[in-house]
Structure 1
């Protein structure tokens, strides 16, 4: 628009004389050309913070509006120095800037994530979040936030946008410890029951109800009163777990008392089996005595409630008390049933020992007692051998304790020397050299020249004056060497008389 007379007042940029800006936001400079007779220009109606200045033919309106009061502002620019002066009008509309959103962030709890709210929320405003995602709902509640992400928000009224809010973040719900899981071990015959927190965490604090127990390394629970029911909670300093299931430690199972007893009957020669009797304790309900001992095929177990075990073979036994309900057993005692004293069959040997005729026990036993009797019942000796001088039937009684066994032997000939001669003439007297009682292993006979003429092993009475070649030997003195079965030997002479 141009007014002409003697003055010039012209808007330099069309449209700049009508502006809408936000409070505290600079306007776009509005410039006018002032000329002709005009020496200056003035302006009225500007908002606070906006002023006009003249310099070298240009009048400039600039600044930052600081209030919305009175908006829109209709201003007038008028020349100075002209008659008449020229005026041009314009409008500056100052829009209010929304207040920066005020955020109230609630810390997370053990039951919920943290959350944030715009406390100065205005439903007429539009809220924009950085980064994008969340929205503001009724009452200013903010939804759609990613936990742990920092956000800012601005408020817009369609014309102006607020300063961004302070940064805010919603944190995840606090971690609540898991419910303590209890492993309870049943009592045994040697130990009370015990309990352990299976999911134990050394960083947690555990609180028991009723009070008393404590946690050991690894989650073992100590200090429990046997038979008392407990629960426990876990705390990480911020949150507390749900209460555990109830648990109880039960006392050690009842172990029976160690029995006492003895072998009341030991086997002997008349009773080959033994008896064991228990003297204590008196059995409780569901208890029994148990005897374990030898059997031809291994070990045999015998159970009894009266404590008497009969018909037992020899051997080592153990005795204990068994509780049939708990399965617990007492300490065991050891008892031995001795072997039965049975005198085994034995053999008697007889024969000469030098000039003595001996009757002996073959393989004598030093634990036995030996007594010898003749046929009239008269005791004639003791020990494992006896010298007899007469033909008779003899009895040997062998004893050990109350056990006695007898053996009889008949001796018909007690002749025990080496004859000095033989006369093989067929008269039935000394026809052979009789050595049958001497237990001879070998005989050798030599003539006076030292020539061997006869030899016989296991000799009894075979030599009748004939040589080994079957030739009758002449009457003469002959010489012999005899080896006895006991390892001894002897030499001498014998006269052959034809």
Structure 2
């Protein structure tokens, strides 16, 4: 860095007088590099009118050293003269050069012909009354900056360059600590000067003065003074107006960026439609949901804010319908606060009450009815933000100083947002707000500057071209002398002027109609044209700016007229007298519902009328149901035997079909009821079925015979005269059960008869009982007699079932059971009942020597035989 860019540092403490108090400030005076360039990237400007677009608002100048000059300029300037204008050249045509302001190149800047008056006279002191900037947070770090440029061709070196000192009161840690900035030579573009400091009070004084007193050169311009607080995240505030009418696209959204890096690059709208804007104003919007965001100078986009534009309620009409020719119907509409007008196409002479919301019509042909209404848009609400000041000191701008407490002496050109004028400044009357008597209003201590051209209130709102708007406000005097005179302008053109009341605390409303023409924005400004100090104190409340929009609403209903349809039904068959007639169908074959009359009558032939359901386009129709007399069914008598199969005929002798009850019972005589099938036109009849009891046949018993004996044929007629047959065939070899079945036609039961055939049998067992060889007869039956024979000769005195045998031979036993004999034979060949004799060896070679040995009758369970070598050969 070259040596010329370094400057000396000095620190001084200065006492500075104000109107009513004396304060001490620590002041850091320092020189700053003139080519310093930086940008505050964070928060909004706390300096009012830092770009001078509102003239001399927001600051004061030491009148001893500086004098304001205004157009038309004389073409020459004297040291200490300054102007708020957009080009230095007309002020001093000989020496000043033409430049554009820093903000846009075409706006205002503060141009100063450097003073020669000593004493560090301030050419710019922050605050509308020079009282600094309030509302800061103690301990927070703030950034103050401005832009400077030399504007005279006589500025050629360090001696002729302005040297601007920045004074910041109620602050610590001012950085950089060189408070002097040298205006660059004319060939150099605008240069930015910037400081940071830490606030030690809620109010900070910022003042600028030029230490160069050279009458040659020393001419400069400043612009875009900015004071910003600590970094503020980028966000967005929005307001909107809903579309005026249900089908209109005239809604608006106004977005205002907060925080971030200045200037903002663009505002972005998305959702129901998409657009971008440099100002944040979006117009011509249809109903729908939108998202809006702002993009700042660092290309950061804020979080999106969602806004829903809602149209006012449209007309709601009754649904189109179809009616039957000759019927009437009611039309219906709602949704408007204005008069309704109905028309018909084609013309309907029955539309006799076209202005009713619910006229009744009776068209003869299909007709479309259209209703129209022209209500004032319910969305014609005030477009102003905070028009009743309930949100405090926001939503508007003015040229007055916002003072929380004007003190005992008051402050001209000041205002407050208060609930009581007297509580704000004691000499004022105790006037309350207009809205509720307990809310906020804006109270003014009138301005004595700028010849009545200080704005008391200003707000810009978007408007729809070629529409009528009404601006209104309420005003009261808080001091009775010299009441204010309020003039209202829109876009710079006066729309009306009126005096505040002569008496205090009396609210008066004034309103004016304004046509927007080609405008899309309306900047509404209010001025107090009285600028004397005595009196001239007033309050405003409930400001309103509404569009006088009328909506042309229209809806249609079509009534279709149909010709009636004839219901069709199947002709019912004739029914029998007294029988139940099924209910007639309530829906015709071709789908027509309805009811029948008169009630069903099953005693006589009757004509019935079908009436279609109300609302169905159909005609009535008739049906006749014929009633016929009844026939009595006839049947042959029936008699059966007990248990015999029984069935009853399903048709009578005279061909009447039907069913019987109760269930058939073949065990007893029963009376049965015959119910004819539906539609036979017959009466019930009864039939008794006689059930005769069955006789049991009786027979003499048949004597038992011996098997194979003679057996006579069984009788085919019972002792009690029942004839029949026997089963099975006769059998003389075994006892048999025989069943007698009576011949058909006899009421008799079957009969069982058993013929016994005796067939005894006997067997003999032989063995030792102790040392006696004994034969025992085993008979098949009990109660038998025994006879024993040896070699066919009877053995005397042997009638028991056992016989001790002493000799070998053939023995026979004969038993007798009920006269029938049976016999069995046993050959006795061994009589050994002592210890068994087993030879020491055997040689079974049929030489009769040691060929066999007998172990019978000894209960031997195991026998083993070994050869001479001790090897077992048999087991």
**Coarse TM-score class (shorter-chain normalised):** 0.3 to 0.5
TM-score with structure 2 setting the length: 0.21
The structure in which a higher percent of residues are strand is 1
TM-score with structure 1 setting the length: 0.34
